[in-house]
Amino acid sequence: MDAISVIRAKRDGGRLTDGQIDWIIDAYTRGEVADEQMSALAMAIFLNGMDRAEIARWTAAMIASGERMDFTASLGTARPTADKHSTGGVGDKITLPLAPLVAACGAVVPQLSGRGLGHTGGTLDKMESIPGWRALLSNQEMLDVLNEAGAVVCAAGDGLAPADKKLYALRDVTGTVESIPLIASSIMSKKIAEGTGALVLDVKVGSGAFMKDIASARELASTMVGLGTDHGVRTVALLTDMSTPLGRTAGNALEVRESLEVLAGGGPADVVELTLALAREMLTAAGLPDADPAKALADGSAMDHWRRMIIAQGGDPDAALPVAREQHVLTASASGVLTRLDAYAVGVSAWRLGAGRARKEDPVQAGAGIELHAKPGEQVTAGQPLLTLHTDTPERFDYALAALDGAIDIAAPGTDFTPAPIVLDRIA
């Protein structure tokens, strides 16, 4: 085969054969297909799409480009495995309380996570604000942590779906990221290769999410659920609101503190609600529908698993978390009902404060971020604190405040306003 024939087939609106897909993924991974040729094919897919069979084969070819793990066999235990993937948002710290919570309820949770890029936060960046905690683990170390704590949160190894790693970097610089077949196969190739038995997808919808409207989010979720099912992984997706940041914080150490509040039986209502909703889905998919995650939060068992997981990965669960050196308070401009606090604007502002990165190699500030003192639907008074901005570098404040211009709406006192529900739909 040759790359030009494959490119032409998709350019002209045709469907790729299994043989064409297998060949081009393998050849690109080995370096026989040039970046410019794969860029042309990615653009052809972006413009002309793929059917379900093509997407399934593309995903399978990316899985076959590397190793495939099997935690159930490796652990030698009858405990079922379950994992969660979020498409990314602002203040989305759900993995932190969720992984130990589901482990406390009887499942094993191998949570391979990533870093933040742009306005969306990364789970590994948040966890690395815990002194001593390590994200990079060998396969044996991952198994050791799972045996000790029932859950692990760590970076995916280079051996999982290496074709996706190359292709993702290429899509990022060629304007082909926003393709549902390529997004779905990218996410699912890694999750299926990871070897979990059940997978719950948290597909975000709204200004702070990758998918801005519910129709696109529903299409992406349905595609990924289909891929998981086709590859023998019990998969379900929740569409969840990301028009407003989750919880009351956006930033690394700030979100860890909030996650600890949830594990201690408190925390913001929206974070608790989504954590429990995803936990119930994971446990049901793993064959444990009678487990009660609310009880595991209340009785402290989820916190126990958190502490064991942190210690097993070299961290100190009792150490003080980093605090930014400088703060700036943004106050309400009027009295009334807060009706909008734009998630994207808050995410960009936190990123500009140092909580995120523009390039994968950029450092982040552990203490940088934003605290939210009010959420949509709440009454506010002119002059009261709405947001507190945190950074080690105060010269960033003006740039971060500029991102929040026009991001906050306050209606007249007494205005009847009901925020959107957290869970918008379920795809199974």
Give the SS3 label for residue 384.
Answer: coil
The CA angle 84-154-204, to the nearest 5 degrees, is 35
CA-to-CA separations, 362 to 54, 174, 333, 397, in angstroms, rounded: 36, 21, 35, 19
> Which of 93, 190, 305, 390 is an active site residue?
190
Give the SS3 label for residue 335.
Answer: coil
Active site residue 164: yes
Let me know: does 141 contact 149? Beta carbons within 8 Å. no
> Which of 10, 85, 115, 396 is an active site residue?
85
At 48, the amino acid letter reads N
Active site residue 231: no
Helix H or strand E segment including 184? helix 180-194
Q: How far apart are CA 348 and CA 278, in angstroms?
A: 26
CA-to-CA separations, 387 to 163, 393, 401, 404, in angstroms, rounded: 42, 17, 10, 10
> Which of 83, 92, 125, 164 is an active site residue?
164
Active site residue 340: no
Let me know: does 347 contact 120? Beta carbons within 8 Å. yes
CA-to-CA separations, 184 to 13, 316, 369, in angstroms, rounded: 20, 36, 30
Let me know: does 374 contact 386? Beta carbons within 8 Å. yes
> Which of 39, 129, 185, 186 is an active site residue?
186
> Which of 57, 171, 280, 352 is an active site residue?
171
Catalytic center residues: 85, 164, 171, 186, 190
